[in-house]
Amino acid sequence: MTVRPILRYPDPRLAMPAATVEQFDLSLRHLTDDLLETMLAAPGIGITAPHVGVLQRVSVIRLEPHAPVLIHVNPSVIEASGPLQRFTEGSVSMPGFTEEVERPGRIRLRYQDLDGGWQETEADGFLATCIQHEVDQLDGIFWTRRLSRLKRDRLLRKYEKQAG
């Protein structure tokens, strides 16, 4: 397992939709192992292959140190419902910057496992937010695009000032 370099915002690859994974082989398993190591080192609770410059639809999520690792290949949110909820979001590609984002409180996710088998699962609360955040990234939608224009402009000004 290797800790890979993380792309920093505004790298243009973070705004590109990721390609569908078609080969379910050892290289995919190595990629997910590296994503987990990279996410833990960042530190973070979610990461996608595009965060490390690999434009494939793969995400890894682990909400707490002893929680199970969730690996989603080719994920898509097929249903979003429930009342909207607000949670603080950020990105391993923009460390140290967070803001509240509003998203649906419940989702149904369709994805493939590491063997290529199709799965469906439901999530609510913070996990639903995390999954939506990572699927957005796979679609080329950086989390700041979910902010109001005022909040996004303010956050980006602070980020640019710190980045130098």
* Positions marked active-site: 134
Listed in sequence order, the residues at least 6 apart from 104 whose beta carbon sits closer than 8 Å to its beta carbon are: 80, 81, 82, 84, 85, 128, 132
The end-to-end CA distance of the chain, in Å, is: 32
Q: How far apart are CA 7 and CA 80, in angstroms?
A: 29
Contact of 141 with 79, CB cutoff 8 Å = no
